[in-house]
Amino acid sequence: MIELFSANTPNGKKISIMLEEIDYQYKVTKVDISNGEQFKEYFKKISPFSKIPVIIDHKNNQTIFESGAILIYLAELSDKFYNQNNRLEINQWLMAQMGYIGPMLGQHHQFHHYNPGKSKFGEDRYFKITKRIYEELDIRLGVSKFLAGNEYTIADIATFPWIARHEWHDIGLSKFKNLTKWYNEICKREAVIKGFSFMNKNETPPKP
Ligand SMILES: N[C@@H](CCC(=O)N[C@@H](CS)C(=O)NCC(=O)O)C(=O)O
């Protein structure tokens, strides 16, 4: 049994989607990050930066923080979505999500969605970077069915919940044909639908 410490955010959804994809039994423990629960002692012990998601694999008592590391752990455990022959490619797209796509879109959420009007510089900067990311992903998905090639991998699982926040981005997902096609394809997966609604039964990925 895997215990998933999480909140209803894109980083949180990566792991519930992965657990549904590999069909592992898991229990969700909600961490109320809007009320500071992530700073409690019990949580800091398993998450040194006080961030969700974290998992505990109760089979071997292994604790793992950082969503990319968790995805790799679960992929290796299940032997799914992380093909040995394509790891270099998958790692690049996964790291790009972890180091670039997620952090940049996260800043865009802060300036454009949560705090509009507070900093024109911040709003303009992250709007522009988000648009650029949409363009870059669209170019990639024009030559590759999924991010790391022909197969759906943990790089797609990591990136999808961030694009699923497209309504907050205001870039206009439907203008990006290849990205939209990829998004719609992933939206159809049963495990994605289940994992997406892990904290709110009625939540579905918004249409482009
Ligand atoms: N790089 C980390 C980022 C995790 C992250 O930013 N988590 C946010 C929610 S999406 C969080 O826990 N924020 C609470 C805080 O920083 O206090 C990962 O991918 O796991």
The number of the ligand 1 atom at minimal distance from the alpha carbon of 53 is: 20
Q: List the 54-57 sheet strands across, edge first.
A: 26-30, 2-6, 54-57, 62-65
Residue nearest (by alpha carbon) to ligand 1 atom 19: 67
Query: What is d(CA 41, CA 101) in angstroms, rounded to the nearest whole number?
Result: 30
The strand pairing partners of 4, in sequence order, are 28, 55
| pLDDT given for residue 33 in this prediction | 97
As given in the structure block, the two tokens for residue 29 are 């423990």
Q: Report the separation in Å between the CA atom of 143 and the middle of ligand 1, taken as the mean of its atom positions.
A: 31
| pLDDT given for residue 34 in this prediction | 96
pLDDT average per 10 residues of sequence, the chain (208 residues): 97 98 97 98 98 98 98 98 98 98 98 98 98 98 98 98 98 98 98 98 96
The number of the ligand 1 atom at minimal distance from the alpha carbon of 36 is: 17
Closest to 112 measured CA to CA, from 97, 98, 99, 128:
128
Non-local CB neighbours of 175 within 8 Å, separated by 6+ positions: none
| pLDDT given for residue 89 in this prediction | 98
| pLDDT given for residue 110 in this prediction | 98
Query: What is d(CA 6, CA 16) in angstroms, rounded to the nearest whole number?
Result: 9
| pLDDT given for residue 8 in this prediction | 98
Residue nearest (by alpha carbon) to ligand 1 atom 1: 66
Residue nearest (by alpha carbon) to ligand 1 atom 14: 51
Query: pTM for the whole thing?
Result: 0.98
Residue 116: phi, psi to the nearest 5?
Answer: -65, 145
Query: What is d(CA 90, CA 107) in angstroms, rounded to the nearest whole number?
Result: 25
| pLDDT given for residue 119 in this prediction | 98
Residues with CB under 6 A from ligand 1: 7, 9, 11, 33, 38, 50-53, 66-67, 98
| pLDDT given for residue 131 in this prediction | 98
The number of the ligand 1 atom at minimal distance from the alpha carbon of 12 is: 10
To test the pocket of ligand 1, the residue of 47, 52, 110 to mutate (highest count of ligand atoms within 8 Å of its CB) is 52
Instruction: Sort strands 2-6 and 26-30 into parallel, antiparallel or unpaired.
Output: parallel
User: Which residue has 């979505």 as its token pair?
Assistant: 81
| pLDDT given for residue 74 in this prediction | 98
User: Which residue has 């790391």 as its token pair?
Assistant: 148
| pLDDT given for residue 104 in this prediction | 98
Extended beta strands in the chain, E state: 2-6, 26-30, 54-57, 62-65
User: Which residue has 């990591």 as its token pair?
Assistant: 158
